[in-house]
Amino acid sequence: MAEEMDYQDYQKALQFDQRVTRMEALDHLTSVVIDGLKPNEGDRVLDVGTGTGRLAMVLYKRLRRGSVVGIDSGRGMLRVAREKTVRQGIENFLLVRGAAEKLPFREASFDSACLMLSFHHFASPEEATVELHRVLKPKGYLFSLDPVLLEPGDSQDEKLNEAIEEAFQEAHGPQFRFFTMSQLVGLYEAAGFSSNSYHVHEFSVDRRGIESIPMGAHWAQARGNMVFRRQKELVQRFERNYFAFATEGQKTVVTGKMRWATIRAAKG
Ligand SMILES: C[S@@+](CC[C@H](N)C(=O)[O-])C[C@H]1O[C@@H](n2cnc3c(N)ncnc32)[C@H](O)[C@@H]1O
């Protein structure tokens, strides 16, 4: 790896109040990506897995002479993004339907690329990183933000990570991957990127209602599966490292930690 993992910086980027709503958390993450990407106003930026354009709808404002191209494999997502661009009269946000694993662009087409909460959905992250490397200009770079699991310290941690990933795959399909930071960095570096900086951003939650944390139902499902299988040790580790659920009246109170990894990686 190119440098020491900067776990000391956990709190720096995500110092919002613990009682933020899910949407506020996502807005905050959007600004983390845009600040990390630091685009020049004439840049051509590729937003891979653009979804409904959450990131691109903020990013395009920074590109007065440039543009954002948003690509996504989901027809429904793109329809919503397209409606938003038409309604708001945005001209420098272009939308393309396609897969990250086979980007329909010539090599060296973009100054930078961003990936917000999308990489872990890709059917082949290996192919996607090679494609990203191909379409970036020689001095190009990418900035990605993805949820991550803790690095496993022993075989029980590995089982815990597998159990969490399995619960998310039940909801999102077998292509969904829940990486650790070192796995993410390894994937980018294998495609030829050099990772200039990477951080794990962690924030604590202490909230009523599992719906109030991002992907709360899936986290609850992961714990539920472990309880059902009587995997006591895994449940304890889950509660220590991720989330604990308690009942208060009709509501579930969630306490714990959620982590996102950001990686800035250069093509050269
Ligand atoms: C959780 S959403 C994130 C959307 C957006 N970046 C955001 O932050 O709101 C993940 C997106 O990745 C897209 N996606 C999944 N696999 C893909 C692939 N192989 N190629 C392109 N897009 C993909 C999905 O359709 C979805 O819109």
pLDDT in tens, 108-126: 999 999 999 999 999 999 9
Higher pLDDT, 215 or 61: 61
Residue 165 falls inside a structural domain: no
Q: Which of 28, 73, 96 maximizes ligand 1 atoms within 8 Å of its Cβ, making it the mutation to test the pocket?
A: 73
Cα separation, 141 vs 195, in Å, equals 9
Q: What pLDDT score does 139 carry?
A: 96
Cα separation, 92 vs 99, in Å, equals 21
C-alpha torsion sign, points 208, 166, 180, 195 = negative
Contact 34, 55 (CB under 8 A): yes
Q: What angle do CA 132, 69, 77 make, to 5 degrees?
A: 100
Q: What pLDDT score does 229 carry?
A: 95
Residue nearest to atom 25 of ligand 1 (CA): 74
Q: What percent of the chain clears pLDDT 90, i.e. is strictly above it?
A: 70
User: Which ligand 1 atom minimizes the distance to the CA of 29?
Assistant: 8
Residue 108 falls inside a structural domain: yes
Note down the domain range covering 29: 7-149+174-203+258-266
Mean pLDDT across the chain, nearest whole number?
88
pLDDT in tens, 24-39: 778 888 988 999 999 9
Q: What pLDDT score does 10 carry?
A: 36
- The β-bridge relationship of strands 243-248 and 93-97 is unpaired
The yes-or-no verdict on residue 43 having pLDDT over 80 is: yes
The mean pLDDT of 179-195, rounded to a whole number, is: 94
- The band of 19, judged by pLDDT with boundaries at 50, 70 and 90, is low
Task: Write the CB contacts of 58 (distance below 8 Å, at least 6 apart in sequence).
Answer: 30, 31, 34
Q: Phi/psi of residue 264, each to 5°?
A: -110, 120
Pick from 4, 18, 32, 263: nearest CA to 148: 263
Q: What pLDDT score does 205 carry?
A: 77
Residue 229 falls inside a structural domain: no
Instruction: Provide the 3-class DSSP secondary structure of residue 59.
Output: helix
This prediction's pTM: 0.91
Q: What pLDDT score does 4 carry?
A: 38
Higher pLDDT, 191 or 255: 191
Q: 65: how many CB neighbours lie within 10 A of its CB?
A: 9
CA of 109 to the centre of ligand 1 (A): 21
Residue 233 falls inside a structural domain: no
Residue 156 falls inside a structural domain: no
Residue 228 falls inside a structural domain: no
CATH number at residue 19: 3.40.50.150
The yes-or-no verdict on residue 260 having pLDDT over 70 is: yes
The mean pLDDT of 206-231, rounded to a whole number, is: 85
- The β-bridge relationship of strands 251-266 and 194-208 is antiparallel
Least confident of 3-12, 129-138, 191-200, 226-235: 3-12
Cα separation, 211 vs 217, in Å, equals 7
Joined together, the tokens standing for residue 196 give 């200039």
C-alpha torsion sign, points 29, 55, 169, 124 = negative
- In the 8-state DSSP scheme, what is residue 244? E
Residue given tokens 């803790």 in the structure block: 150
Contact 116, 261 (CB under 8 A): no
Q: What pLDDT score does 6 carry?
A: 43
Higher pLDDT, 186 or 8: 186
The yes-or-no verdict on residue 5 having pLDDT over 70 is: no
Query: Pocket residues for ligand 1 (CB within 6 Å)?
Result: 49-51, 54-55, 71-74, 77, 99-101, 116-118, 121-123
For the chain, the domain total comes to: 1
pLDDT in tens, 115-160: 999 999 999 999 999 999 999 999 999 999 999 999 999 999 999 9
CA of 3 to the centre of ligand 1 (A): 29
Residue 64 falls inside a structural domain: yes
* Distance between first and last Cα of the chain: 15
CA of 197 to the centre of ligand 1 (A): 23
Task: Write the CB contacts of 263 (distance below 8 Å, at least 6 apart in sequence).
Answer: 142, 143, 144, 184, 185, 188, 195, 197, 198
pLDDT in tens, 230-254: 999 999 999 999 999 888 888 888 8
Residue 26 falls inside a structural domain: yes
- Strand spans (E) along the chain: 44-48, 67-72, 93-97, 110-116, 136-147, 194-208, 243-248, 251-266
The yes-or-no verdict on residue 2 having pLDDT over 70 is: no
